[in-house]
């Protein structure tokens, strides 16, 4: 009997020590959920704008067609030219541009989006697919960008 008790006690001890290292512990879940919630809150208003205004050219996967339509997923232009990207969405963009070492010489019309909608769709494309920009675009920032 004593042996069984000791054995059980040992078992509980072993299990107990495992739970300290459990990677799926409550704390980690909470941390993950908060990060996901922040990204999806950033994305939600722009997601619909993207589907309505951008998807037909840049694709649902943001990869463009590497011929007429440049990619947004992994785009060095979008990553490095924040102001020009905002300007492109406010005023349209045409003429030669180089995105990820490929030349495009086409044109994107201005789509008549409000400053808030430009900010929303920028926040969507900057945090979608493999893009992980963290500095949020605000309506005020968009309003300050001139042609």
Positions that interact with ligand HEC (CB under 6 A): 53-54, 56-58, 68-72, 75, 77-78, 85, 88-89, 93-95, 97, 99, 104-108, 111, 121, 125
Comparing every residue's Cβ against ligand HEC, the nearest one is: 54
How near is the Cβ of 100 to ligand HEC at its closest, in Å?
8
How near is the Cβ of 92 to ligand HEC at its closest, in Å?
9
Give per-residue burial for 17-37: e unless 16+ CB within 10 Å, then b.
eeeeeeeeeeeeeeeeeeeee
41 vs 39: CA distance, rounded Å: 5
How near is the Cβ of 41 to ligand HEC at its closest, in Å?
19
Nearer to ligand HEC, 69 or 142 (CB): 69
112 vs 90: CA distance, rounded Å: 7
Nearer to ligand HEC, 99 or 119 (CB): 99
Contact 131, 74 (CB under 8 A): yes
Contact 45, 120 (CB under 8 A): yes
């Amino acid at each position: 009997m004593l042996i069984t008790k000791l054995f059980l006690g040992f078992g509980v001890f072993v299990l107990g020590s495992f739970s300290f290292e459990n990677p799926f512990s409550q704390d980690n879940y909470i941390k993950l959920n908060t990060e996901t919630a922040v990204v999806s809150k950033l994305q939600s208003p722009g997601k619909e704008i993207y589907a309505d205004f951008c998807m037909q050219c840049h694709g649902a996967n943001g990869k463009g067609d590497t011929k007429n339509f440049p990619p947004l997923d992994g785009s060095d232009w979008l990553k490095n030219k924040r102001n020009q990207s905002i300007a492109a969405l406010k005023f349209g963009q045409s003429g030669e541009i180089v995105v990820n070492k490929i030349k495009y010489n086409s044109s994107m019309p201005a789509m008549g989006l409000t400053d808030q909608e430009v900010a929303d769709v920028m926040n969507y494309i900057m945090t979608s697919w493999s893009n992980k920009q963290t500095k949020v675009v605000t309506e005020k920032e968009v309003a300050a960008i001139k042609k």
